Amino acid sequence: MGTQFSSRLTRPDTAQVVSRLLLLQQKEAKAGHGGVESLPRGERLKLADAMIREILTVAEERHFFREFAASEVFREVLDWLKSMHTDAVFNGCRQTMVRYDLESHTRPIPVLARALREITGAAAYLRDPFRVSTSAAAQGLLAAVAARPLADASELPESRRFCKRLASYSLEDLVGLFVRLLVNDVLERIMHRADPRHEEPAVEDARRLKNDSAERIGRTVVSRVKKAGALADSARVREIVQDVLEELLGTAAQP
């Protein structure tokens, strides 16, 4: 059994994920709804949340929230991303440029990806069940930054263009994107465990919808983090992510 959380799901667990999602799909069909792509925005989000709730119900049987609460790699990686963002906004990436010798490289992303692997590959994090998803979320964020449109900077080297792109994000947007990508990746790994060959239509529906729920979760987390004045506190961000996910799971138990 691997260390990542999804690997802890047994065959009966994954069968339960499929059966729960299938029941939801059947309810939608009985209600006369078409395919998920044809649903109105509100109904689509409602179904997305319901599907995520079913997945988390199974995951929690393997102590999902206890494990997530203990994931220190989340805090470490988010702190790393925020430190680079602060350096970009206030120092023009001076510290980041020196630390990773970015100006001597034509492409900054591979350099930063190696630095990320050094963080997540530290001995303290090798058995963290959310290490891979956290790393994937950070890599996705770096890729999003690198792809962000940027006007009037074509004469700059790529490392400087990356810096300007990073500085154009607000801290709220950075945290929200990281949370969304993390939630997406965690859910995708659980669904892949349940349906590795993409053969189950109900799981495929959940795959198509999970980003809707992950985006809402990201927005909710950022709103609460800002209200708590905790944007600089990555451990508190993790706690609020857990609060929001627990609330989503808890609504299933409401009469």
**DSSP-assigned states of every residue in 30-69:** HTT---GGGS-HHHHHHHHHHHHHHHHHHHHTTTHHHHHH
CB 5 within 8 A of CB 130: yes
CB 57 within 8 A of CB 249: yes
CB 107 within 8 A of CB 158: yes
CB 78 within 8 A of CB 234: yes
Burial pattern 159-173, b for ≥16 Cβ within 10 A else e, equals bbbbbbbbbebebee
Model pLDDT, residue 29: 73
The residue length of the chain stands at: 255
**pTM for this structure?**
0.93
Q: Which tokens hold the place of 238? A: 């993790």
Model pLDDT, residue 39: 74
Spatial separation of the C-alpha atoms in residues 76 and 227, rounded to whole Å: 22
CB 190 within 8 A of CB 10: no
pLDDT along the chain (255 residues), means of 10: 85 96 85 69 88 95 94 96 98 96 93 96 93 97 94 81 95 97 97 96 93 95 97 96 93 39
| Kind plus residue range of the DSSP H or E element containing 21 | helix 11-30
